[in-house]
Amino acid sequence: MEEGTLKSPSHCTGTDDDHARQWDTREGCEVRQILDRVADKWSLLVIALLDVRTMRFTELRREIDGVSQRMLTVTLRQLERDGLVRRTVHPVVPPRVDYQLTPLGATLHDTIQALVTWTEDHQGEIATARAAYDQREAKAETTAGAERPSEGAQLAVGRA
């Protein structure tokens, strides 16, 4: 069992507010565990690729830039455990293993696609906000640096 995974389903309790319960940030919350799984970058990429077609492990690894063999293995196992990916082993030599989205995984892809579309639609606004933030931060650092005496000046004052 994966570290941090609970053996029995847990429910987000301790509040009467259904909205707060839905977004409970406690580690034991099953909703949080599922969101952590399906929202990580490797899972998102695997789901996006498998929406197009069934793929073999080596194809997935080749297509996902930067993923290690171990990380891809862990990601596929977790997605299979959650019922989002189906793993099919073909009885041939050498063994052939295919991965495909389950119907449940396909519904998640629709949600991910909405997020990608939102990102594409707003990437210009986000780039503008980032540039403005970076400019404010750079100005704040410059201003803070000008207000502090230099290290040499502090030493000279200390000797006087």
Rounded Cα distance, 79 and 43, in Å: 7
> CA-CA distances (angstroms) from residue 27 to 4, 23, 59?
8, 11, 34
Question: By the 8 A CB rule, do 13 and 26 touch?
Answer: no
CA distances 63 to 47, 53, 111, 159, Å, are: 12, 13, 21, 63
Residue 150's pLDDT is what?
56
Which pLDDT belongs to residue 74? 95
**Would you state the pLDDT for residue 25?**
62
Q: What is the pTM of this model?
A: 0.66
* pLDDT tens, the chain, 160 aa long: 444 444 444 445 544 555 555 556 666 678 888 888 888 889 999 999 999 999 999 999 999 999 999 999 999 999 999 999 999 999 999 889 999 999 999 999 888 888 889 999 999 999 999 999 999 999 998 888 766 555 555 555 545 4
